[in-house]
Amino acid sequence: MSKDKQTKEFNALPIRVSAGVSYRMIRLVHALLRGPVTREDADRIAGCSNSPDLIADIRRLGLGRKHLVCTLFTVIDRDGKVSRPGRYSLTPDGHAMLTEWLNFLALEAADEAIV
């Protein structure tokens, strides 16, 4: 399959590829593809302390809040206070979209390595 055909097929998907892809984003996407991720875990996985900003970047790829959802759950913190942290997860469509996006990035990297 030619690079033009791959790009055309990918562009038909409701997700965008930008030059602003970071290793932090890739690590977090891989984790989300494995299952739900809390905000604290997202910070640790991505290697940053502002994972909600990374989540926003991932949503801007085309997933939006519809396909990358945040569910709040109740916990009691170490001071005995009620807290409502978030847990990020993908819908089945969101999972498919990010899988295709990663596949596209891999094809792009492979094409660049050949040239």
pLDDT digits (tens, 9 = 90+) for 16-65: 555 678 889 989 999 999 999 999 999 999 999 999 999 999 999 889 99
Q: Measuring CA to CA, which residue among 61, 57, 56, 34 is closest to residue 45?
A: 34
Structure pTM? Answer: 0.78
d(CA 6, CA 42): 31
List, in order, residues 6 or more apart from 92 with CB less than 8 Å away: none
Domain 3-114 has CATH 1.10.10.10: yes
Residue 82 binned pLDDT confidence (cut-offs 50, 70, 90): very high
List, in order, residues 6 or more apart from 115 with CB less than 8 Å away: none
Q: How many residues does the chain have?
A: 115
pLDDT at 112: 62
